[in-house]
Chain A
Amino acid sequence: MATLTYLQAISAALRDELRDDERVLMMGEDIGVFGGAFKVTDGFIEEFGADRVMDTPLAESAIIGTAIGAAVVGMRPVCEMQFSDFIACGFDQLVNVAGKMHYRQGLAVPITVRLPSGGGFSGGPFHSQNPEAWFMHSPGIKVVAPATAEDAKGLLHAAIRDPNPVCFMEHKHLYRRIKGEVPDGIHETPMTARIAREGSDLVVIAYGAMVHVALEATEDLDGASVEVLDLRSLVPLDTEAILASVAKCSKVVILDEANATCAAGAQVAALIAEHAFEDLDGPVTRVSTPDVPIPFSPPLEQAVLPGVERVKEACRELLAY
């Protein structure tokens, strides 16, 4: 066991995989000599060489496309998008080539795409997005979004060892803010949900950075017993765990940082409406970002991103229902 930050846990997973499996290679912009925009691969090039920690041209479609080609001839590429927003430029390769490959041709595409995502520090409209729902809507792509250091490492191992394309949503706001005990060696975290805190009056369902917002907002909420369910994986989505929490608590707040329409939270709400209508003692409540680009200036950004106060308010309202 070691105490690692969320970022150190990601680095440790990558380093372990590079040491363990010669098929694994890193590809991305400025990840080699510079060590990555967020220093996730700092020092890697010295240990593993420029071939396996590859500084690529500034070409996201090419990063994903060439990773697909390398994967189908036996490699295990891990692509870094410098910011998750830039996956828009590689969207076609990921969705049309990688995502549909196994269904069409029975050919597995074991690539991992790391997507540093999320807002909260004036990144503006092009460095703050949470694009996970784009890929939830595209068949053939798994999507995971860890909230803790332990899960960041374990889910990254699981992603790299998965025979499918996996989007690994790593929240930038957690990189250096979150620390935790992380087991040594390679331990895969299953792509299932986890109860972050047990409770019985209401459940807040969240993932990624919002798990911490949910925990903080409900730590002492007028004595209510609030459960927090950390989804960890969006594809596959742990329907069983979601429905179990709803059956137990009967009141649900769904929290996500992405824009509201067709977000992961919208899918969770639809699942509950379809399968747990009889278990509910109040309306399914959502807290998310309105459908606007993420603004730059701090008061504007704070006005749109879900925060502790908004979550408290939503929970109180639902508890009183």
Chain B
Amino acid sequence: MATQTAQQAQAGSHLLPEDRAALLRAMLLMRGLEERAMSLYRQGKVPGSFYDGYGQEAVSAGAAFAMAPADRLCVLHRDLAAHVIRGVPPARILAQYLGRATGVTRGRDGNVHFGDRHLGCVGMVSMLPDMMLVATGMAMAFKLRGERRCAITWFGDGSTSRGDFHEAMNWAGVQKLPVVFVLENNQYAYSTPLDKQFAVDPGERAAAYGFSGVTVDGNDAEAMFEATRAARERAISGQGPTLIEAVTMRMHGHAAHDDMKYVPKEQVEEWRKRDPIDRQEARVTGAGGAVEAIRESVRAEIDAAAEEALAAPMPDPAGAAEGVFGVGEAEPLGDGLAPWSGFATGAPEGVS
């Protein structure tokens, strides 16, 4: 039940050089795609509003990288790297922002409100943290069927104030379920700071529900990976849930319209020194990796994706009322990609 620090998480110990590069690549894709989408938003091509996870890329990249193909994910709106890692092509992501027919929700929902069901992901709803219960239910099914799989979900500091947080933490603790809860503590829920959100550090709450809690440097992709890998091991070996508090900072406003006047400038500057991509680049460079080549290939991929997404058709208005109900046999979620070398090299735990 003890809270563990990032230093104790033994960053990097299960990662090969290509894994480190893959983590960097996922984070670069997330940042690059979101920057491109923001630019398209400013050009008036992205309808609605725009939300990003600038500076938080390590939280989703590191955690999703520890998930096996048969694991299931409920992803939050500042966690695009999880979708990238599971295998959603960049052109589909940009088409999603643009409201195109080729986006993941075919224009039916916006921005990061998506999950590719063929890749083991369920898209979030705006009521946070509703998906904590959905992930808990997935884990319940895995346990009932005796499967060595886990579910993971991300949610923010604001989410800890709502009843569904309590209901999910309690249910998962009572039934000792294979679920990983990633609390993305990015200091602000819209404009509300932590001291108006809770009186007790959220990392301490896991013990109150009867399971392990760990606080991790959320700007360190490898620390996130290690903490999640360990949590997954606990989950699939019947030791129950884990709460991972990923401490990070929301570097942009809640959405594109938000000027963040409520955040002290020094706080942003302080966190800029801890940029998760800079840190991963230093690691990859230190291991002899070719960072510039990775950057170049990511840039090219995003350019091609933008071209494809912008050329994609808008959805046909004639179909706006279709598909409210499912017809025929319900098809469960499919498996996603799991690029971590640990799954490919003789560690098939949970791989279907």
Q: Is the CB of B138 within 8 A of A103?
A: no
**B158: shortest Cβ distance to chain A, in Å?**
16
Q: Is the CB of B138 within 8 A of A73?
A: yes
**A226: shortest Cβ distance to chain B, in Å?**
34
A61→B164 CA distance, assembly (Å): 7
* 0 or 1 for each of B292-305: is its CB under 8 Å from A? (1 = yes): 00000000000000
Binds B, one of A94-102, A117-125, A252-260: A94-102
A109→B140 CA distance, assembly (Å): 16
B174 within 8 A of A: yes
Which residues of B101-142 have CB atoms within 8 Å of chain A's CB atoms? 104-105, 108-109, 113-115, 117, 122-123, 125-127, 130-142
When C-beta atoms are compared, the residue in chain A nearest to B331 turns out to be A108
Given A69-B135, A97-B125, A62-B324 contact (CB < 8 Å):
no
Q: Is the CB of B141 within 8 A of A61?
A: no
Chain A count of residues within 8 A CB distance of the other chain: 41
* Residues of A close to B170: CB separation below 8 A: 57, 59, 62
* 0 or 1 for each of A57-100: is its CB under 8 Å from B? (1 = yes): 10101101111111111110100000000000000110011001
Q: Is the CB of B171 within 8 A of A66?
A: yes
Q: Is the CB of B325 within 8 A of A140?
A: yes
A100→B113 CA distance, assembly (Å): 12
A78→B232 CA distance, assembly (Å): 29
Q: Is the CB of A107 within 8 A of B140?
A: no
* Residues of A close to B127: CB separation below 8 A: 92, 96-97
* Residues of A close to B174: CB separation below 8 A: 57
Q: Is the CB of A69 within 8 A of B134?
A: yes
When C-beta atoms are compared, the residue in chain B nearest to A92 turns out to be B127
B323 within 8 A of A: yes
A51 within 8 A of B: yes
A166→B329 CA distance, assembly (Å): 15
A164 within 8 A of B: yes
Q: How many A-B residue pairs have CB under 8 A?
A: 140
Q: Is the CB of B123 within 8 A of A104?
A: yes
Q: Is the CB of A73 within 8 A of B142?
A: yes
Q: Is the CB of A70 within 8 A of B140?
A: yes
Q: Is the CB of B144 within 8 A of A25?
A: yes
Q: Is the CB of B331 within 8 A of A93?
A: no
A74→B334 CA distance, assembly (Å): 10
When C-beta atoms are compared, the residue in chain A nearest to B147 turns out to be A73
Q: Is the CB of A66 within 8 A of B323?
A: no
B67 within 8 A of A: no
When C-beta atoms are compared, the residue in chain A nearest to B70 turns out to be A73
B328 within 8 A of A: yes
* Residues of B close to A65: CB separation below 8 A: 130, 132-134, 136-137, 164, 167-168
What are some 21 contacts across the A-B interface (CB < 8 A)? Answer: A57-B167, A57-B171, A64-B133, A65-B132, A65-B136, A65-B137, A66-B137, A69-B140, A70-B138, A71-B137, A72-B72, A73-B333, A77-B137, A92-B164, A96-B125, A97-B125, A102-B325, A105-B117, A108-B331, A109-B330, A164-B325
- Extra pairs beyond A69-B137, A109-B326 (5, CB < 8 Å): A65-B133, A73-B138, A92-B130, A106-B323, A163-B327
